Structure 1
Amino acid sequence: MKNIVLICAAGMSTSLLVTKMEKAAEAKGDDAKIAAYSIAEVNDVVKDADVVLLGPQVRYQEKTVKDAVAGRIPVDVIDMLAYGKMDGETVYAQALKLLEENK
């Protein structure tokens, strides 16, 4: 099972995106756990994550998150256009690409 963590300012703005990403994973037949959390929860939630995606509004926290994962897993910022459109398929594809590149 893929464990994809989304990080945003309060963990709320990405909830619609999570739902759309879950639908994209289901359409591919993938077993994925996708959840959104606030930046304050990073240290607790990255322990079991396979990939972390940051909402564009917290892109300034990228170094903090990368430090928290210590190179163990990929961290990237969600494309602003895909985020704005709540394009779950594109963001899910971004997560899969990161996972594939970091095998």
Structure 2
Amino acid sequence: MKVLLVCAGGMSTSIVMKKMRDYAKTNGINDFEVKATGVGNFRDVVDAYDVVLLGPQISYRLDEISGVAGKSKPVGVIAPADYAIGNCQAIFQQIEGMLSGK
């Protein structure tokens, strides 16, 4: 699974990205790749990812980013509390739900 994290500048999602990598490694999630990028650059890389997650600070751009990502690629917003503390268990559950269409 390839996950693209998008925030205003890519800085705060870099922290979440590192935590997600550590969580995946610790929990034996081998087929996992994650990248953090700013909203200004996401168009250049979005096609290479399976799921797009937005930081809560840019949740107002959900419709725009969903339109660019296309109907076949799920796009969601990480819950503010999960984002703030890097709750990777909840974030991975969100990703699994998005991929399964729930």
TM-score computed with the length of structure 2 as normaliser: 0.91
Which runs of 5 or more structure 2 residues have no equivalent in the other structure? none
Cα distance in structure 2, aligned partners of 1:72 and 1:44: 17
Cα distance in structure 2, aligned partners of 1:68 and 1:27: 33
**1:30-69 → structure 2 map (5 Å cutoff):** 30=29, 31-69=31-69
Cα distance in structure 1, aligned partners of 2:47 and 2:36: 14
Q: Is the 8 A contact 1:42 1:68 kept in 2?
A: no
Q: Secondary structure at the match of 1:89?
A: helix
User: C-alpha displacement at 1:88, in angstroms?
Assistant: 2.2
User: C-alpha displacement at 1:24, in angstroms?
Assistant: 1.8
Cα distance in structure 1, aligned partners of 2:69 and 2:9: 20
C-alpha RMSD of matched pairs (Å): 1.3
Alignment partner, residue 16 of structure 2: 17
Q: Secondary structure at the match of 2:40?
A: helix
Cα distance in structure 2, aligned partners of 1:24 and 1:101: 23
Cα distance in structure 2, aligned partners of 1:101 and 1:23: 26
- Runs of 4+ in structure 1 off by over 2 angstroms are none
User: C-alpha displacement at 1:89, in angstroms?
Assistant: 2.4
Q: Secondary structure at the match of 1:71?
A: coil
Q: Secondary structure at the match of 1:40?
A: coil
Judge which range, 11-20 or 88-97, deviates more: 88-97
User: C-alpha displacement at 1:90, in angstroms?
Assistant: 1.7
User: C-alpha displacement at 1:82, in angstroms?
Assistant: 0.4
Q: Give the % identical residues.
A: 33
